[in-house]
């Protein structure tokens, strides 16, 4: 709820029209920053803005990924890291951005026997014309690729 409230604050500051991606990422990860600030590596270009619906969905997805990283993944030990990077692909596809959440240095990752609520939330929330999400349970660390139309 705190992460969504932070995203809504950003939208309020811009008349509910849009929020900057860089600020959304920061707000979504804010509850985890006190303990893990130096373990997040975040980079991507400025100038990407999301409307209210996409802002809320991405905030929920990032918060869920961070929560799982603390419980089971790279942030559950003392040396793991999370890299969050995004870009706008330079191809002929409709305008979109790609965000990649990549964990490393945590415990070995095993694919879940069944999809949990959080995984389903991330994947299903971005269906339709909004975008898509895919998780790769690489033994070296979870990788979640998110693509959202602009």
This prediction's pTM = 0.85
The span from the CA of 98 to the CA of 24, in Å, is 15
- What single string gives the DSSP state of each residue in 31-60? HHHHHHGGGEEEE--S--EE-HHHHHHHHH
Structure-token match 């990422």, residue found: 25
Q: What are the sequence ranges of the domains in the chain?
A: 2-149
CATH for the 2-149 domain, from 3.30.420.10, 1.20.272.10, 3.30.565.10, 1.25.40.10: 3.30.565.10
For 116-132, the pLDDT digits (tens) are 777 777 777 777 657 88
The region of weakest confidence among 44-53, 73-82, 112-121, 135-144 is 112-121
* Percentage of the chain lying above the pLDDT 70 cut: 85
The region of weakest confidence among 5-19, 70-84, 89-103 is 5-19
The pLDDT mean for the chain works out to 85
Beta-carbon contacts of residue 30 (< 8 Å; ≥ 6 apart): 2, 3, 6
């Amino acid at each position: 709820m705190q992460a969504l409230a932070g995203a809504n604050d950003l939208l309020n500051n811009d008349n509910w029209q849009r929020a900057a991606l860089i600020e959304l990422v920061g707000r979504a990860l804010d509850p985890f920053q006190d303990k893990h600030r130096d373990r997040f590596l975040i980079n991507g270009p400025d100038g990407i803005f999301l409307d209210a619906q996409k802002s809320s969905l991405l905030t929920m997805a990032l918060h869920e990924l961070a929560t799982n990283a603390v419980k089971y993944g790279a942030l559950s030990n003392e040396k793991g890291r999370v890299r969050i990077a995004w870009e706008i692909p330079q191809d002929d596809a409709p305008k979109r951005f790609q965000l990649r959440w990549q964990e490393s240095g945590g415990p070995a990752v095993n694919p879940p026997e069944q999809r949990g609520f959080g995984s389903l939330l991330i994947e299903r929330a971005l269906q339709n014309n909004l975008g898509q999400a895919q998780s790769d349970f690489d033994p070296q660390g979870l990788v979640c690729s998110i693509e959202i139309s602009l």
